[in-house]
Structure 1
Amino acid sequence: MTVRPLLRVGPVRRFTRNLLCPVDLLGRPLLLKYTRDPAEARQEIRGHARLARHYRVPALHTHLRVPGGHLLTYERLPCGTDQGLLLDLLNTGEPSSALHDYMDKLTTTYRDVILTTARPTDPTHVIQKLYGDRSAPGGRLDTYYAGRDFLVADGLVDIPVSRLGTYTLNINGRRHHVDWAATLRWLRAHLASTEPVWAALTQGDPTDVNLAHPLAWFDYDTAGMNSILGEFANFLWYASALGGWLVPTYNPAAFADHPATFNRVPANSPEIRRADVDHATSTIHIDYAPRLSAPRRAAVTAYWDRLVRPVAERLWPGADLPNLLRPYLAMRVLGVYNLADLAPKVRLVLLARLAEAMSPAFDPATYFCPLESPCPAP
């Protein structure tokens, strides 16, 4: 007779400042989450309760104050090595029928809940963690960039970012212009606006590691009334840049249970083909090849066509959608990683992406999918 242990503890994983640990207690699968920030723990509990009314989430069994923080005990959904997340459906060579079905369920759920709960909302009643808080005085924009200058790309383009505005950027044959200081001022001012924004009940940080397969939602400290445009920008940027390229490069520990992620990094990493400065014409030439794996292109295309476009047509009929998305995208480009701390080639690509996002010709449908395999035009 096999005796099942009363308690089995799995490996502890660190995600940002939080610790996660799978536990089997009397044969019951649980997930323990330890967070040090009391305010974040309270928001997680409130966010879970709000989200549970509209989305599938694992049950929250208990939450306790413990030395140094809070411990939350969740139902643990089935998972394993390279399985259990949207991420795993993206870590394949080609889009699967499971991915197509998943994206259909994801976008249908989001579309229904967003259109049901959407309303113009005072910014003080919108979750601000990923946007307003980061752009506010003392937030990430200040922490990363205030009073700091750095080169566009050491050894490639030895121009300080403070002087970007005095140069023309020729990126893949198209002319762009970015004034670094003016961009930061504009971003701070835009996200500090007191004008109502369209908000809806969402998870707020829809990454491919916060979305379970079968479909469920994890991580609730940003759950609640979120800017709908911020929700869109978050998913699109994570799916097209962070999840397949930047996060596995700079935070590999987050993918310890999903090692197939690392096999797909080359398929999602841009390649710089030219980077030089023509001082005679004050022009910086940057040619790069954007790359995005076929499953990620399929996910982004489905999200754009089945969620972003129909919601935008209902809430912002006739509006300039690229212009509406721009500040949220720029904040994701600048406010996740400190560009000054990244490798020169990575920094160069991100500054090029920022320039493209700030351009009057910015087209999200081609921006989030490589031009070699464009999304359908909006």
Structure 2
Amino acid sequence: MTPNPRWSIGPIRRFTRNLLLPATVAGHPIMLKYTRDPSEALAEIRGHQVLADHYRVPALHTHQRVPGGHLLLYERLPVGTDSGLLLDLLNQPGEPTNELRDYMTALTEAYRKAMSTTARLLHPRHIVRKLYWDRAQPGGRLDDYYLGRDYPFHGPLTVSELTNHTLIVNNRELHLDWHHTLTWIRDQFATDEPIWAALTQGDPTDVNLAYPLAWLDYDTAGMNSLPGEFANFLWYTTALGGWLVPTYNPTAFTDHPATLDQLPINRPKLHWLAIEPRTRTIRIDYSTTPAPARQAAANWYWKHLVEPTAADLWPGQDLGQLLRPYLVMRILAIYNVADLEARDRMIILARLAEAMDPGFNPITFFHLEETLCATP
């Protein structure tokens, strides 16, 4: 018997604590999303509603409480094996394509339009807090990961002992005081200083942006800090999406296996590590060179969204200092640094030292200077 293409279901997919089940009902493609946390479900429903007037989002047909959670029924976009997401454009081998350039043009233009009409100076209590403020609070993710704990940097040397050492990272002298860093990042998200925010999806990763252009996943949608929005996209595009997430959560890419094929290209390389106990000096030489498509996407985003927005909202201010707290939170509060493999942990701590340096420059940190002329 020939299967009826008007009716199909599965396979089920797990992303973090959520389950996704694609189906076709009477010829209509739908996506069932099961969320266990009722507060996250409510945030997603509200987030979808507020985004709909400014961004392209798939229709939310209905939502229903079910035993143990909440079920949401969405229009299903044409996402398939290695197709349908920004991720898939970033996984294309070789030089960046015109397809990617056109996509990034549409993406940044959509953001510029939405930000120009919704940007406001807001008290932090009125901003979506999940990815930054909540994680810095007592009992938040920073405490879950690091409170009262120490862990190895290399051999018997622990991360807390790094404060007594000089780090020479790629011939640049740096310093990393682990406990000061944790105190500093908590303090950054404990102030009442107003922040420029705008209506966005809030978690602009390559799996939350569909191709053709649409926005997915809405539990962080709303008025989001603009520096947080920018730091999130840049760090995810150049580090998390091509390296750490596929390394530590490879099953998330069952439908996008090209991500794993690209992992050797996107993984940073540790070339040299030397610890000199007598002088308390640690030398680390590493290189991080994301695939050309990832580097080009980050560069386009910077030139066509971050820089013009900064010129409008923060003229004359140091953009690196605005982005730095958000970047540090993304480095520390996605994966527990202590749980990373030794080589990954050393590179992440070197990157953290670079981000915490008073002279932090996002152009250098994200290697944007290497592609400023190369990107169309």
TM-score, normalised to structure 1, is: 0.96
| Deviation (angstroms), 1:360 | 2.1
For residues 83-107 of structure 1, what are the alpha-carbon distances to aligned partners after superposition, in whole Å with 9 as ceiling and x for unaligned?
0000000001221110000000001
For residues 43-97 of structure 1, what are the alpha-carbon distances to aligned partners after superposition, in whole Å with 9 as ceiling and x for unaligned?
0000000000100000000000000000000000112100000000000122111
Q: Structure 2 CA distance, aligned partners of 1:375 and 1:129?
A: 33
Q: Structure 2 CA distance, aligned partners of 1:80 and 1:332?
A: 29
C-alpha contact (below 8 Å) 2:227/2:322 kept by paired residues: yes
Q: Structure 1 CA distance, aligned partners of 2:362 and 2:202?
A: 20
Paired position in structure 2 for 1:169:
167
| Deviation (angstroms), 1:368 | 1.3
Q: Structure 2 CA distance, aligned partners of 1:114 and 1:171?
A: 37
Which AA in structure 2 matches 1:196? P
| Deviation (angstroms), 1:2 | 6.0
Paired position in structure 2 for 1:29:
29
C-alpha contact (below 8 Å) 2:298/2:368 kept by paired residues: no
Query: Identity rate of aligned residues, in percent?
Result: 60
Paired position in structure 2 for 1:316:
314
Residues 87 and 3 (structure 1), Cα distance of their counterparts in 2 relative to 1, 3 Å cut = closer
Once superposed, which parts of structure 1, at least 4 consecutive aligned residues long, lie more than 2 Å away? 1-7, 373-376
Q: Structure 1 CA distance, aligned partners of 2:368 and 2:102?
A: 23
Q: Please give the residue correspondences for 1:57-68 in structure 2 after superposition, counting only pairs within 5 Å.
A: 57-68=57-68
Q: Structure 1 CA distance, aligned partners of 2:3 and 2:152?
A: 62
Q: Structure 2 CA distance, aligned partners of 1:241 and 1:34?
A: 29
C-alpha contact (below 8 Å) 2:59/2:74 kept by paired residues: yes
TM-score, normalised to structure 2, is: 0.97
Paired position in structure 2 for 1:55:
55
Paired position in structure 1 for 2:75:
75
Q: Structure 1 CA distance, aligned partners of 2:172 and 2:102?
A: 37
Q: Please give the residue correspondences for 1:168-207 in structure 2 after superposition, counting only pairs within 5 Å.
A: 168-207=166-205
C-alpha contact (below 8 Å) 1:365/1:375 kept by paired residues: no
| Deviation (angstroms), 1:375 | 4.1
Paired position in structure 2 for 1:18:
18
* Alignment gaps of 5+ in structure 1: none
Which AA in structure 2 matches 1:294? P
| Deviation (angstroms), 1:361 | 2.3
C-alpha contact (below 8 Å) 2:199/2:222 kept by paired residues: yes
* Alignment gaps of 5+ in structure 2: none
| Deviation (angstroms), 1:7 | 3.3
Which AA in structure 1 matches 2:207? V
Paired position in structure 2 for 1:133:
134
Residues 370 and 149 (structure 1), Cα distance of their counterparts in 2 relative to 1, 3 Å cut = farther
Q: Please give the residue correspondences for 1:154-303 in structure 2 after superposition, counting only pairs within 5 Å.
A: 155=155, 158-303=156-301
C-alpha contact (below 8 Å) 1:366/1:375 kept by paired residues: no
Q: Please give the residue correspondences for 1:305-344 in structure 2 after superposition, counting only pairs within 5 Å.
A: 305-344=303-342
| Deviation (angstroms), 1:4 | 2.3
Count of residues in Structure 1 that have an aligned counterpart in Structure 2: 373
C-alpha contact (below 8 Å) 2:331/2:348 kept by paired residues: yes
With 5-14 and 279-288 compared, the bigger mean Cα shift is at: 5-14
Paired position in structure 1 for 2:112:
111
C-alpha contact (below 8 Å) 1:60/1:73 kept by paired residues: yes
For residues 311-359 of structure 1, what are the alpha-carbon distances to aligned partners after superposition, in whole Å with 9 as ceiling and x for unaligned?
0010000001001100000000000000001101000000000001111
C-alpha contact (below 8 Å) 2:82/2:257 kept by paired residues: yes
